[in-house]
Structure 1
Amino acid sequence: MALTLSNYETKTKNAVQSFWTTRSAAQQQQKKSGKSDQGERSGVTAGKNMDGFTGLFIDIIHENGLNNVEIHQKRSVLTLPGFFRPTKLWDLLVTHRGELIAAIELKSQVGPSFGNNFNNRTEEAIGTAHDLWTAYREGAFGNQPRPFVGWLMLVEDAEKSRSSVRDTSPHFPIFEEFNGTSYLQRYDLLCQKMMKEQLYTNATLIASPRTALETGSFSELSIMTGMRTFISSLAGHAAAEAVRVEE
């Protein structure tokens, strides 16, 4: 069966443009209301910034044969049980007859505080995946095949995110691949390593400048962490599940 990639390049571009547009609108609205959050936070708390990506993933799922599944997008139905904590809130869940087909997390980071946010995002992403797979092993989702678990990160393409970062480790040396890397490169390494460790079925990094508000422009750092790899993986999982669950 040939996979359908749903014109993902154009839809990704539209999703990126929507991210910046929605973020900018949220900031302007909060300024008008006199209730602006501090710094860049006002563009994050609107909560709808990544909806364009959600729409793309839903198209991929449907167009590759999974038509009779339940797609969950509302906050009230986006939680899954954890092992180290009671529940975890996801951004998109797909279920079918009581089985978990897919769970996807969508994150973004806009400057200027790339350092602290990178560390927080790293710890959160690793912890989330470890928690889910431990719960899966312990039967939280019943006796079922492994679901697709995806993580997508959109990072502002800016001077600070592309500049080399210095580290100090007085007792033991850091791994060589981190020496002199930028935060964008570190996110790329994070995505690659999380996939190699099977924490995520696919983890993807998109870099986009603020000017993408007008153009939807974005770039990728490697084939392994690019959108085509993510989309192909999700499409393949959807096609395989369509054969399995809809026989």
Structure 2
Amino acid sequence: MIKLFRRIRQNLLSEGKTGQYLKYAIGEIVLVVIGILIALGINNWNERNKLNQSIVEHLEILKKDLNEDQIQLRELKNSLTERKQAADSALFQMMTIRPTDIQLKKYLIMLYQEFKFSPNTNAIETINQSNEIPALNNELRTVVLDYYALIERTKEREHISNTQIQTKYEPYLNEHYPVIFQKNNQWGFISEYYKKDPRPVSMIDAEKFLKDKTLETLLVSRYYQCSSLETFYEELITASDKILNMIEK
């Protein structure tokens, strides 16, 4: 094809047909440009097709990650609800709405538990590394980014809550209420661990407990932290549901 074009140009020049030569040269340039544009269009189409296929595959992984996240989040939320109820029950006893009883030891030890959500990040890391976030439609991109931003805020709240346990609640209980570590504590691990302990058990000193304002503030703080984290986990479940529904659509 190139040889044919060259021969035509040479014939036109040798015959002195300069005007026709110029017209032909312009036409040839136009054809070359059109050919380049067609090739670029095909290449862009192929690249876009590859990108779309990659996004579809990665969104399937994201669905799997989010479903696993939801299982973990629901377990954490249910556990938090139990801890919030334990704090509430202990405070009810402190306010003498209910008399102190054997369950108090269980309520106090339950509030030692720390919480940490560990999200699955395989899909979002791959999507980021592949620079596919800008290729998602606007609404989906927004909810995905919002979900992972919410995870970061949840981690901050977990850190605050766990630090409060480590530096205030747990040290105070260990020092002032060591009697919670006995076999008559009905919480699973403690009950099982001390079940063969032959030593006599004792109850929490009710008078001391009812007057303990420091413990009261710690219990209120634990209730608040549990309630706040519970809200964060619920928001993450709602946000992940929204992403899953959009991916399905």
| TM-score class normalised by the smaller sequence | under 0.3
- Scaled by the length of structure 1, what TM-score is found? 0.28
Name which structure has the greater RCO, CA cutoff 8 Å, separation 6+: 2
Richer in helix (by share): 2
